[in-house]
Structure 1
């Protein structure tokens, strides 16, 4: 070819070289180009070999019959085989199950017939020592030695750790890691699936809370608390697992049991009592025997037409009722009680918004002197709630709920600040005004900030401290959560008058026991009520009241009032015993701040010297 091209070029105008010389030049160029092509080919082959050896993905080369020709180091390491052990074996010998063998054979067939690579898919391959290994395999092809031939290549990725991670995450999503029980999400899913079944069965939902769990956690540490929870989980499993029950841990110390079938309330209660008996046996943690009790709410109803939300709320409310009734007991769902409790909890849930929206207001109950003058000695501040749905609610209806929701301090502060502002306005307008008496709700009475709030309000309103009376009772004085006695002593030093509400002689003895700085008593309860009646009951009440007043005088308290004065005769009998003032139905309904202003104008107290 070089000779022919040289002969043609030699006859061309402008070419000065002979044909022989041209042939030599062309041969040199050809040899140089060939050498360069060989070098590029060898470099490409070397790059492929390096990639094949270094890639972390397992690569298996097979022949057209699907037998192993070669495997890179990543694959032999992954499967625990030596290259010579794999050579000549059918690729399918590496598959762990018949299903995996079918998947690989299908991929090889697709490659032969359709010239189509098989997409990445999960396949379990057999490790030489450790058994099945989870992998992802992609089957591709490389051109063979002769035209039209194709050799399979298997690209193998180890996904066993990824699979383990996914399984761990799945378990975290549906399983409680401490007890091994299903978690709250899993329980909700199970409940919804159970309710979706077509059978017209009974469904039982049992909610359990460990009583006093915070005492265990705080007293012995969270490690002991964890052991107690695992103990409770085991005991509940022992009791309920043989009855087709689904058991879960819902919260910190809360558990739930779900059952469906031909159930009766009596049968479910029997299981609950059995579990409570088992749990009563102490669990020992570091040699310390910890007693465990649970409060239980039980709901047994027709499954048809129920929703997960309705059943959950019914079980929660029934559990709350069990706790309120003293703990360590079960309560069975009752429709009537459920309606009542839903109303109560519905009221308690919106106290914060009601306070912000101005639904609360103050009323004042006048306490009138029993000497016939009808002078107002004291006005007692009372908080009312104008509820948009349930009408006017008194303190007894919402303060217990406010304790549960943590709203009592906010309500107590509002009561204190508003009433003291009203009293300051009366004092500024009139030469003589009645004292303001505030009976604080229990949770606010034990508030450590009480003294600071009172001091700030005295300063900001200008109300003289001696015009303020703070009323307390035996419940507040006995409550271990606050330093009530110290607070009362500080308030007395500020010249605030301390009043004690008394229902019986035992309440009176608190003055002596705690050396209380009490200047006034307010009597209420059965003894005062009985004095309004006739016959032996009134005589007995008179004797007890006389003894109580004698003891009060001995303790240095001589100014005593009564609550619940019904009639003129009732007032007379109280006055004869030495009670100096009273409030109740005889003196009219509670009044607004403006109405109290009018009463002060009409009925005093009288200015000094008049």
Structure 2
């Protein structure tokens, strides 16, 4: 019956609203204006008058209620007539203002849903605002309010819609009259879902019956305390239920004899915290958790305690920046507090351990939640040893391993920096290239270990002889270079060169062996001798080449003509390489004549280069170059094969002599080459005579003597050329049984006028006779020389007087003439 009556009232109200809408639509308008209040509303509201209010605009965007009906006043809960809308209860005022502004904008009735909240009960209303005009040209608005049938409690709405668990608990007492349990009188769907039950299963049941293990968690005791004290409390508890251990968070409050509680499942949060704690504590890397605002420590793991040497209690009393040296704290404090230090950063921090020792570390941090509070986790990677290794590797990459001096890479970097300073400040600099004289002799005589000691002592002397702002580097082998910065004048470079030559030429004590060497120096000045590091170094090297070429033990400044000379040398080198391929080499032969029979006993093969443009190039010009660039080895093999092949066409008693370079002994492939040349030509080994100089025995003497013995085993003859011009010629006669000694032409030339030269010739021929070694004198140009050599007992002679070098095609004619 009540419901039917309410439905009737709602239907009547709907009819009233429709009547108002029809009057507003039917009212006359002029030129699209709003209908007049007098035409659409005045005397036409009927039963709807109680639901309406007449509103008029005020200045400043305000509105006043001129008239209001009883139902409208019920909605706003006060007498509304004569009030500014802004003074009405907020729930009504906001709805009215929104509807009025929309109606004025649309110039059309606006229908909205409005609500009022009274004592926790929410009531819905229909709100319709009609825009109107009046006869004086102003605006009016008619507000119509109608209550809808439905209404609901605010608490009920929140209770039903909250996803978290909400419970209303009624206390129960034990036999002693004390509260010790609670009955569930209400629970929302969120609470039922949390405990995996239906609402009907939970309502009106005792907590201890529903959850028997709850009392053991302490949660039930805390609920009792909340009821007894009347104070709210928030606590977490663990419940070992049928589905496993779960973590809950509860907030409870006493209210009118009941206890209301909100319940949340925090199992996942706690599991994450436990996982973090496990990873944190068991990590081998030192980790700390700190407050991003204060930088105070909140937690440290075992690795951090072990690494830094603080006990846990002392560690937790530190600030993060306490791990840093005093000088670094102010600059680093802001960095740690401001944001994450992501992986991949190259920033390295110095840190202090408990014992005061310094380490270097990279620190990476990220935001974490620590027991519900914002914090930062810092992971510390100690890079102290890594940095030491990197420093060692960097040093090794830029320094010579033997001497510790900068190497070529670092030298060129420093030279570029020095040149940049020269260009900026205009202060000249110099580059000095230093080459040790006779270093190879020390290596060959005493071995490489002694040579290494010598290089180390040379390096020490160079360091001591330089200023602090100068730089010395070892570029390789026995080659050093110096950057002399900030020169007052060019002469300072020469003075330094003289000092270095003097310092390096003093005797060295090498493991009990006293050794004397020298040094040659080439100088290039910046910026006059080159704009780039490579040009300067190249020009200083050319100046060094000139110093060595002009007697060694001196220094030379770079001069522009040196570049032209070096270019000419490079051109000659290219042409020399092409000469072997193009077949530009020829062999000429100079005869040996017996002093006893006056007959030709053989020929010495002499290499000639017939250049297509230059003509005949002197051996003195190209042989040293061929030796220097290693081309003498293939050229020497060609000479051997060519000489053996042509000698095979001579009378069988004729020998051919071929000169060997010390370079050809390198690699120990000479013996197979000689054997192959003999076999290819079909020449008897005893018809081949190989001439060497003492340089062969100076360099890697033992290995070269072994090669000489191998050649003797083939059956070839070995001759020592230029005997008497070296330092140790006599000692070499003991180290190897030579077949022939060749007396250098320098002794023969002045033999008649110089008694000393004659005495040397006499001594050599006598020595040869006593040792059973034949002797050949070179450079015989006169009959007098020939007769004197014959008188001294020389076995053979050779020279222009007896025959000039000739091509092989002229040999038959020479032999025929000598026979006649």
TM-score by length of 1: 0.69
Please state how far the C-alpha of 1:205 moved relative to its aligned partner.
1.8
Please state how far the C-alpha of 1:277 moved relative to its aligned partner.
3.3
2:768 aligned to 507, 514, 529, which one?
A: 514
Please state how far the C-alpha of 1:474 moved relative to its aligned partner.
7.8
1:316 aligned to 541, 546, 549, which one?
A: 541
Pair 1:74 & 2:299 matched: no
Pair 1:141 & 2:344 matched: no
Match of 1:303 in 2: 527
Please state how far the C-alpha of 1:238 moved relative to its aligned partner.
2.5
Matches within 5 A, 1:240-279: 240-241=466-467, 244-262=469-487, 264-279=489-504
Match of 2:659 in 1: 440
Cα distance in 2, alignment partners of residues 277 and 155 from structure 1: 59
Pair 1:547 & 2:788 matched: yes
- 1:583 is paired with a residue whose SS is coil
Match of 1:404 in 2: 628
Contact between 2:588 and 2:605, CA under 8 Å: does it hold in 1? yes
Match of 2:459 in 1: 233
Cα distance in 1, alignment partners of residues 408 and 545 from structure 2: 19
Q: Which runs of 5+ in 1 are unaligned?
A: 7-17, 370-374, 532-541, 564-573, 575-580, 585-589
Pair 1:124 & 2:350 matched: yes
Greater shift in the superposed pair: 269-278 or 179-188: 269-278
Against the structure 1 CA distance between its residues 454 and 301, is the aligned structure 2 distance closer, same or farther, given a 3 Å change threshold?
A: same
RCO (CA 8 Å, sep 6+): is it higher in 1 or 2?
Answer: 1
Pair 1:108 & 2:337 matched: yes
Note the aligned Cα RMSD (angstroms). Answer: 5.0
Against the structure 1 CA distance between its residues 389 and 169, is the aligned structure 2 distance closer, same or farther, given a 3 Å change threshold?
A: farther
Cα distance in 2, alignment partners of residues 227 and 192 from structure 1: 31
1:49 aligned to 274, 277, 280, which one?
A: 277
Q: Deviations over 1:117-170 (max 9, x none)?
A: 798543333322224432112222223555xx5222222221222222222222
Matches within 5 A, 1:19-418: 27=210, 32=241, 35-38=244-247, 45-63=273-291, 65-97=294-326, 99=328, 101-110=330-339, 121-143=347-369, 149-196=373-420, 197-198=422-423, 199-213=425-439, 225-241=451-467, 244-262=469-487, 264-284=489-509, 288=512, 290-304=514-528, 305-323=530-548, 327-336=552-561, 339-340=564-565, 343-344=568-569, 347=572, 353-354=577-578, 357-364=581-588, 381-385=605-609, 392-418=616-642
- 2:348 is paired with a residue whose SS is strand
Cα distance in 2, alignment partners of residues 338 and 303 from structure 1: 16
- 2:466 is paired with a residue whose SS is helix
Please state how far the C-alpha of 1:469 moved relative to its aligned partner.
6.7
Q: Deviations over 1:277-328 (max 9, x none)?
A: 3445545566x36445331222143414433333323333443454455554
- 2:284 is paired with a residue whose SS is coil
Contact between 1:142 and 1:152, CA under 8 Å: does it hold in 2? yes
Against the structure 1 CA distance between its residues 435 and 217, is the aligned structure 2 distance closer, same or farther, given a 3 Å change threshold?
A: closer
Cα distance in 2, alignment partners of residues 203 and 31 from structure 1: 84
Contact between 2:524 and 2:540, CA under 8 Å: does it hold in 1? no
Contact between 1:184 and 1:248, CA under 8 Å: does it hold in 2? yes
Contact between 1:383 and 1:395, CA under 8 Å: does it hold in 2? yes
Cα distance in 1, alignment partners of residues 452 and 818 from structure 2: 69
Cα distance in 2, alignment partners of residues 423 and 221 from structure 1: 40
Structure with the higher strand share, 1 or 2? 2
Q: Which runs of 5+ in 2 are unaligned?
A: 1-166, 168-183, 189-199, 213-238, 249-266, 594-598, 719-738, 752-756
- 2:321 is paired with a residue whose SS is helix
Match of 1:582 in 2: 803
Against the structure 1 CA distance between its residues 357 and 118, is the aligned structure 2 distance closer, same or farther, given a 3 Å change threshold?
A: closer
Contact between 1:204 and 1:260, CA under 8 Å: does it hold in 2? yes
Structure with the higher helix share, 1 or 2? 1
Contact between 1:119 and 1:139, CA under 8 Å: does it hold in 2? no
Structure number, greater radius of gyration: 2
Please state how far the C-alpha of 1:415 moved relative to its aligned partner.
0.8
- 1:250 is paired with a residue whose SS is strand
Against the structure 1 CA distance between its residues 456 and 221, is the aligned structure 2 distance closer, same or farther, given a 3 Å change threshold?
A: closer
Cα distance in 1, alignment partners of residues 460 and 509 from structure 2: 14
Please state how far the C-alpha of 1:204 moved relative to its aligned partner.
2.0
Cα distance in 2, alignment partners of residues 414 and 261 from structure 1: 54
How many residues are treated as equivalent by the alignment? 531
Cα distance in 2, alignment partners of residues 222 and 421 from structure 1: 41
Cα distance in 1, alignment partners of residues 513 and 741 from structure 2: 46
- 1:582 is paired with a residue whose SS is coil
2:681 aligned to 457, 461, 465, which one?
A: 461
- 2:416 is paired with a residue whose SS is helix
Greater shift in the superposed pair: 232-241 or 193-202: 193-202
Contact between 2:644 and 2:688, CA under 8 Å: does it hold in 1? no
- 1:357 is paired with a residue whose SS is helix
Contact between 1:472 and 1:499, CA under 8 Å: does it hold in 2? no
TM-score by length of 2: 0.53
Q: Deviations over 1:208-241 (max 9, x none)?
A: 2344445666777766655544433332223221
Contact between 2:430 and 2:487, CA under 8 Å: does it hold in 1? no
Contact between 1:211 and 1:328, CA under 8 Å: does it hold in 2? yes
Matches within 5 A, 1:553-568: 554-555=793-794, 557=796, 562-563=799-800
Contact between 2:429 and 2:485, CA under 8 Å: does it hold in 1? yes
- 1:296 is paired with a residue whose SS is strand
Contact between 2:659 and 2:692, CA under 8 Å: does it hold in 1? no
Contact between 1:408 and 1:441, CA under 8 Å: does it hold in 2? no
- 2:394 is paired with a residue whose SS is helix
